[in-house]
């Protein structure tokens, strides 16, 4: 039975089928009934033949009513009753099927409306998007994601986007991220990296004023063998803890671009090798409360939705300054993630976000590592700098540098 025929059956049972199509449908039903009646007659003949053979074995039958036996008349009456019952069953089945389909469609429409209203109320959808992207930005060095959202039925919202890394002057594709939410409860995010090696970089943490003695000569040799017309991503571990302002001043004279700073949080830095660092990007993560709205217009679309268009501006940041503003933005981001622990925990890599935040608020923002990117020859020039204790090379790309 085709989907088109099923749809016509549904409309026929609801009484919404056009008159011309209704007549065609009744003809089709009559045909189906005729086919069923023909099959019943074939079955009746087989039964009658079997009954006659049994009767002749037991004795002659008496004629009645034009030569028809009482047994044959009873059989015919019984078959008429079967046909009536069978037709009633078919009508009941069609009616029940259409009722179930109508109920399912009604529930689907209602759940879609509730889903749209829920995620648009109070800008929940935008807040969840901000939490997920911020969790990735502070727990994955030099990684950002621009998320697309898709509200579906039954109170679910899907978020997905491409993972991007800054290599040279361009942002390059590093993979994809996706997650599904149910009424604000986010599932575990799925990372699909184009190169798994880029997601397994680490820093070394200085202890007692001394850097860890991990041999990185192989990394410098690799950097030395790269063609001069290439740019690379480098993870630099520092010889001691630095304030944001101190580190920015060391980076300012260099022809490299800082992209991410590793912060001492007291938990991930408890070991010499830090595999799950916590930090903040060079470009601050601005949130809704940080923006200054210049203008806004709202356009109503449908009964339950509207679209607001606005232009806003973020605070200005000096290229190698504004350390206080950068640190405050980092702390504000951690506090936002703390309000949505389940959602941020499923998106980012955190040992204990609340303890990390308390440690940083008590001890201040102290940096032990930085991710930079730039021309290979500029990175090679860092080998003699004593404030760099160790280097790890990440992504490498062809020349795209703009001084």
pLDDT at 66: 47
My answer on whether 225 and 92 are in the same domain is no
My answer on whether 90 and 215 are in the same domain is no
Rounded Cα gap, residues 33 and 365, in angstroms: 82
My answer on whether 242 and 353 are in the same domain is yes
Rounded Cα gap, residues 141 and 199, in angstroms: 9
My answer on whether 105 and 238 are in the same domain is no
259-277 burial code (b ≥16 CB/10 A, e <16): bbbbbbbbbbbeeeebebb
My answer on whether 206 and 323 are in the same domain is yes
Q: Considering 90, 121, 152, which residue would you say is the last residue of a domain?
A: 121
Q: Are 257 and 373 in contact (CB under 8 A)?
A: yes
* Residue 108 covered by a domain: yes
My answer on whether 356 and 219 are in the same domain is yes
* Residue 168 covered by a domain: no
Rounded Cα gap, residues 181 and 187, in angstroms: 6
My answer on whether 239 and 369 are in the same domain is yes
Site of tokens 């009424």: 183
* Residue 176 covered by a domain: no
* Residue 143 covered by a domain: no
* Residue 27 covered by a domain: yes
My answer on whether 265 and 360 are in the same domain is yes
Q: Are 154 and 116 in contact (CB under 8 A)?
A: no
Count structural domains, the chain: 2
List the chain pLDDT tens, one digit each, 403 residues.
Answer: 677 777 777 776 666 767 777 777 777 776 776 666 666 677 667 666 665 665 555 554 444 444 455 555 556 666 666 676 776 677 777 777 777 777 667 766 666 666 666 666 657 778 889 999 999 999 999 999 999 877 666 667 788 999 999 999 999 999 999 988 776 667 788 899 988 776 778 999 997 645 456 788 999 999 999 998 999 999 999 999 999 999 999 999 999 999 999 999 999 988 889 999 999 999 999 998 888 877 777 777 666 556 666 677 889 999 999 999 999 999 999 999 999 998 899 898 888 999 999 999 999 999 999 999 999 999 999 999 999 999 999 999 999 998 7
Q: Angle, nearest 10°, between helix axes 19-58 and 3-14?
A: 100
DSSP symbol at 381: G
pTM recorded for the entire structure: 0.69
Closest CA to 351 of 269, 236, 281: 269
* Residue 85 covered by a domain: yes
pLDDT at 369: 97
Q: Are 157 and 125 in contact (CB under 8 A)?
A: yes
My answer on whether 117 and 235 are in the same domain is no
Rounded Cα gap, residues 396 and 200, in angstroms: 15
pLDDT at 64: 46
Q: Considering 100, 121, 142, which residue would you say is the last residue of a domain?
A: 121
My answer on whether 117 and 202 are in the same domain is no
* Residue 368 covered by a domain: yes
Q: Considering 98, 121, 144, which residue would you say is the last residue of a domain?
A: 121
E-strand ranges in 302-384 read 305-313, 367-375
My answer on whether 248 and 376 are in the same domain is yes
DSSP symbol at 214: -
pLDDT at 149: 76
Closest CA to 209 of 362, 359, 368: 368
Q: Among positive and negative, which fits the CA dihedral 353, 356, 361, 362?
A: positive
* Residue 403 covered by a domain: no
Print the domain residue range for 117: 3-121
My answer on whether 258 and 371 are in the same domain is yes
Site of tokens 């998007």: 129
pLDDT at 62: 45
Structure tokens at 180: 């599904």
E-strand ranges in 36-108 read none
């Amino acid at each position: 039975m085709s989907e088109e025929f099923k749809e016509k059956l549904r409309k026929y049972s609801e009484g919404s089928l056009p008159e011309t199509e209704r007549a065609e449908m009744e003809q089709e039903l009559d045909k189906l009934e005729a086919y069923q009646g023909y099959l019943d007659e074939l079955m009746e003949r087989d039964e009658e033949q079997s009954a006659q053979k049994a009767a002749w074995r037991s004795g002659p039958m008496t004629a009645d009513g034009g030569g028809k036996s009482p047994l044959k008349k009873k059989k015919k009456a019984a078959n008429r009753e079967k046909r009536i019952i069978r037709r009633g069953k078919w009508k009941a089945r069609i009616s029940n099927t259409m009722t179930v389909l109508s109920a399912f469609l009604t529930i689907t429409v209602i759940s879609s409306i509730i889903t749209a209203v829920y995620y648009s109320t109070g800008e929940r959808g935008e807040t969840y998007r901000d939490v997920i992207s911020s969790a990735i930005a502070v727990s994955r060095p030099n990684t950002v994601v621009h998320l697309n959202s898709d509200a579906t039925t039954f109170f679910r919202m899907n978020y997905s986007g491409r993972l991007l890394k800054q290599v040279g002057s361009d942002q390059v594709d590093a993979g994809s991220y996706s997650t599904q939410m149910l009424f604000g409860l986010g599932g575990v995010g799925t990372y699909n990296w184009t190169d798994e090696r880029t997601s397994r970089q680490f820093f070394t943490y200085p202890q007692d004023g001394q850097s860890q003695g991990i041999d990185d000569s192989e990394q410098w040799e690799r950097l030395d063998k790269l063609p001069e017309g290439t740019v690379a991503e480098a993870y630099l571990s520092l010889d001691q803890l630095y304030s944001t302002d101190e580190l920015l001043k060391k980076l300012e004279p260099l022809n490299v671009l800082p992209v991410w700073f590793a912060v001492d949080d007291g938990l991930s830095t408890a070991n010499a090798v830090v595999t799950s660092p916590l930090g903040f990007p060079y470009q601050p993560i601005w949130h809704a409360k940080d923006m200054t709205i210049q203008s806004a217009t709202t356009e109503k679309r449908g009964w339950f939705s509207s679209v607001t268009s606005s232009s806003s501006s973020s605070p200005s940041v000096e290229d190698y300054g504004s350390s206080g503003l950068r640190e405050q933005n980092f702390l504000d981001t951690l506090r936002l993630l703390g309000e949505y622990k389940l959602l941020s925990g499923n998106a980012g890599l955190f040992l204990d976000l609340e303890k990390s935040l308390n440690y940083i608020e008590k001890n201040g923002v102290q940096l032990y590592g930085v991710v930079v990117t730039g021309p290979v020859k500029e990175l090679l020039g860092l080998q003699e700098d004593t404030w760099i204790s160790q280097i790890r090379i990440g992504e490498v790309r062809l020349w795209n540098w703009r001084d």
